[in-house]
Amino acid sequence: MKGINIDPEECKGCRLCVESCPKGCIQISSNINKIGYQYAEFRGGNCTACGICYYVCPELGTITVYEEDKEAVNNE
C-alpha cells in the first residue's frame, strides 16, 4: 500500500504538508510531541505517494514516502 510515515517527534506542526496534500491524507493530531507541537499524522485514504508533503516539509527526515507496500520493501 502506498503511503507515508511522519515522525511525530520531528514534526513542528507547520501544516505545510496538510495544506499541500492533494488527497487530504494528512491531518494535525490533537496530541502534543516532546517539543510542544501538535504534529501532523497520516490518516490513510487515497494516498498516491506523490511526495508533495515530503518536498514541502522544512524538517528533513520527518516524512518518509512509500511508493510500494512497506512489507515488500522490507523483504527485499
Question: What domains can you pick out in the chain, each with its CATH number?
Answer: 3-66 (3.30.70.20)
**49-67 pLDDT, tens per residue?**
999 999 999 999 999 999 8
Distance CA 57, CA 39 (A): 12
pLDDT of residue 12: 97
pTM: 0.84
23-48 residue pLDDT tens: 999 999 999 999 999 999 999 889 99
Angle at 50 between CA 25 and CA 66, to 5 degrees: 80
